Chains A and B, each alone.
Chain A
Amino acid sequence: MKKAIQLALKLIKTSFVLVDDKKKASGKKQALFFVVLIVLMAPNIIGFGYITKEITQFLVPLSQETVVLSLLLQLGFTIIIFSSVFMIPSYMFYAKDIEKLLPLPLSHAQLFLAKLIQIHAYQIAFLLLIILPPLTGYILAAGFSWTLVTFIFSSWLNAMVTMIMISLILVTIMSVSPWFKNKDRVTLIMSILALSVALYINYNIGGLDLANPETLALSLIQGNQSLSEGFFSYFLHLNISVSLMINFNWLNFALYIVGSFLFMGLVIKLFASILVNIMATFQGGAASKKMSLKSLRGHKIRSALYAFTLKELKLLFRTPIYFFNNVLVVLLLPFIMFVSFTQASGEFSIEMLSAFLNSNPLILILGAAGLSAIFSTINLVTPTSISREGENKYHMLLYPVSMTTQLYAKFLSGIIISSIAVLPIIILIIVGNTLCFELEIMWVIYSVLSAFIMMIFINLFGLVVDVYHPKLVWENEQAAVKQNINFLFTFLAATAITAFLAYSLFNLQSYTTWIFFGTHGALIVAIFGLHRIITSKSHDLLIEH
């Protein structure tokens, strides 16, 4: 146990680096990034806490406040399921450190336990980040109680048991068939599973009225909890902890704790060896395809820019982690937004939208710019494009091709991925205007221009951020994209610009035209500035020092 914990601490220390700075002066930088992170998240965090407080205040007189805790427990459970599905394969099976860990004089159980502790620590940190604000809201409204203690205990046990259950399922699947011993395949299947659950939950939540705490609270107690009835009812430990919170009983509580630990101990004892064997035999790559003269010659000669762009896209599509984080988001987010939108606004009609746009056509521009900003930011292609190279960045310096060309290939890949979502929006605007809105054509041209300028600026900005500040040292691809602070800068820039446009549109109405041209002019100037940085400074920034 002690050895396992020591090892886990080492693993956490070496793999959790948000800022990688070879020159080691990163303490201050890390702190700064955390401050920026918290400031950025503050509105959401406070909002989430506030709405929970409102709901709880409404429920306390009805003695129904436990509903809030049970929902939070389900939320925590969902978070653990999702993160486990991605983290367990990433940290247990495919992490680069496995090769170094296997020869160490540790028992299989110790190795397994160390990895479990490592994952558990990350998950708890993440869980706290999300659960603490609403929990504070709850405490402010309902005060302390035994239920709260049960909740905290249950959440913790739930996190552990759930994660171990998922790892058990994964281990079982992988030991059944060698077909599953392919890293990319497993990640893909897991991601599709997780995604289906996410869509299912999103679909159900879409029916809830999130804007009004009172109706929300009422619908919660009236048993409109489709979540807890369908999917969650299959998980025994979750049901036990919910019933414990509603109806506390020392004996059951003790039994629950003992039962959980017994389950975990048993799994570790029985499965450690199987798991370590799987770790050791894990392989990547697909089954062999016969080499032929046809595939030898089946290529066209391409320019360097084209070849590099194609390579970027191939890697984005073929690496499951990248595919899900960088590509699929732009396919799914519009879809999810559309579903939520249609469910949330029952009496919505095209005529209403048309009247709204005709009352102030600048809204069309704001919509185009805002959506373009969201989809260009969310795919993270350019802000992680150097980071994703990782240890292979040196290749960029070997090629007899200018750094500008190589970086513009990365920029193009970002534009192509962003366009998957932005182009349909532009088409929708054009079609919508021709058929329904019937605004002057100028407005359509402006909004299309606005969407393009936004997309170009954000992608270029993200690229330059990554050139200045790549995260090159990582244990698995997940970390290159997900534990990468660079997205914050792009997110910040995109939010600032959109917020400024929105503010000026609604509050400085007499100057809107000036502000519109001013902002976009400034963006174009900024694009040229970023271009200058790429042509003149990028090589010096990317060469090793």
Chain B
Amino acid sequence: MIKLTQLTKSYTKTKKAVDNLSLTISDGSITAFIGPNGAGKTTTLKMMTGILKPDQGEVLINSFSMKNNPIDAKKQFGFVSDNPDSFLRLRGIEYLHLMGDIYEVEFEKRIELIEHYSKRLGIYDTLNDKILSYSHGMRQKIMIVGALIHQPNILILDEPLTGLDPQSAYELKEIMREFSKEGKTVLFSTHVLEVAERLCDRICIIHQGKVMYDGTLEVLKEQYPNTSLEEIFLKVTL
């Protein structure tokens, strides 16, 4: 479970990137943060994951406070950022073992998970290459495998579907579904409303740092009958 209480962040004096945002995300669900570029999605995710210090507010992850007990809070989730250009001079397999060491994953378990997820995402055969030689999508995938290696209860992804080919996007969505079926939590951000269709239990439309809509896509559609998703999105974020 993720609990955000009155999160606020401003980078400049005049404008709040995230404005008094409160939200509780329950276990076993897939939630999407949806909003146009600059809405504050990345900023919110960064505060949730301990990368960015909130001006105000609190983050609880499986009831561990990010402020008071960051180590335990950070053990709860796997996070994939929107910038996957990391550890370029490590081989894929070296990166995954590094993550295994950091998260203290037992050896046989990590081998099993590496094989399972990297084969599903189609990067198993390249694991012996340096990440430098990977394409953008492949780099994203290795980061996803790295985030799953300690079998976290919560998976947080920033714009995960941008840059993936249809096959991998499908696989990733499948992984998310399985994840939530096991009672675990998935939270991801996107700027495309369509992505949320048939995948999310809940969507949070964020605009200018505030939640403009919070609920299911079906209810949202009922509120705006005979309107395309694109138009709904434009209306909500107006």
Q: Do A and B bind each other?
A: yes
Return chain A residues, CB-CB under 8 Å to B101: 301-304, 306-307
A285 with B98, Cβ < 8 A, contacts A398-B50, A400-B75 known: no
Residue pair A400, B126 in contact (C-beta under 8 Å): no
CA distance A163 to B3 in the complex (A): 58
Could you say which of B72, B93, B129 contacts A400, with CB atoms under 8 Å apart? B72
Cβ-based interface call for A43 (8 A)? no
Q: For chain A, give the interface size range.
A: 35 or more
A314 with B102, Cβ < 8 A, contacts A286-B130, A291-B125, A296-B114 known: no
CA distance A428 to B45 in the complex (A): 55
Task: Kindly supply a per-residue 1/0 record for chain B positions 64-84, scoring 1 wherever the CB is within 8 Å of any chain A CB and 0 otherwise.
Answer: 000000111011000101010
Could you say which of A284, A301, A302, A391 contacts B83, with CB atoms under 8 Å apart? A391
Count of interface residues, chain B, beta-carbon cutoff 8 Å? 44
Residue pair B79, A545 in contact (C-beta under 8 Å): no
Within 8 A of A (CB), among B169-195: none
A476–chain B nearest beta-carbon distance, Å = 13
CA distance A296 to B118 in the complex (A): 11
Within 8 A of A (CB), among B74-131: 74-75, 79, 81, 83, 85-90, 93-94, 97-98, 100-104, 107, 111, 114-115, 124-131
Residue pair A399, B74 in contact (C-beta under 8 Å): yes
Return chain B residues, CB-CB under 8 Å to A397: 49-51
Return chain A residues, CB-CB under 8 Å to B133: 283-286, 288
Cβ-based interface call for B202 (8 A)? no
CA distance A303 to B102 in the complex (A): 7
CA distance A543 to B79 in the complex (A): 16
How many pairs of residues, A versus B, come closer than 8 Å at their CB atoms?
Answer: 110
Cβ-based interface call for B132 (8 A)? yes
Return chain B residues, CB-CB under 8 Å to A301: 100-101, 107
Residue pair B107, A400 in contact (C-beta under 8 Å): no
CA distance A395 to B95 in the complex (A): 12
Residue pair A307, B102 in contact (C-beta under 8 Å): yes
B72–chain A nearest beta-carbon distance, Å = 7
Could you say which of A299, A392, A543 contacts B87, with CB atoms under 8 Å apart? A392
A337–chain B nearest beta-carbon distance, Å = 30
B84–chain A nearest beta-carbon distance, Å = 10
Return chain A residues, CB-CB under 8 Å to B88: 284
B125–chain A nearest beta-carbon distance, Å = 5
Closest to B114 in A: A296
Cβ-based interface call for A281 (8 A)? no
25 A-B pairs within 8 Å (CB atoms) are namely: A183-B132, A283-B133, A286-B133, A288-B133, A291-B125, A291-B126, A291-B127, A295-B93, A299-B97, A301-B101, A301-B107, A302-B101, A304-B102, A307-B102, A311-B90, A315-B87, A318-B89, A318-B130, A394-B51, A398-B79, A400-B102, A402-B71, A543-B50, A544-B46, A545-B53
Which of B's residues lie within 8 Å of A, judged by CB?
46, 49-53, 70-72, 74-75, 79, 81, 83, 85-90, 93-94, 97-98, 100-104, 107, 111, 114-115, 124-134
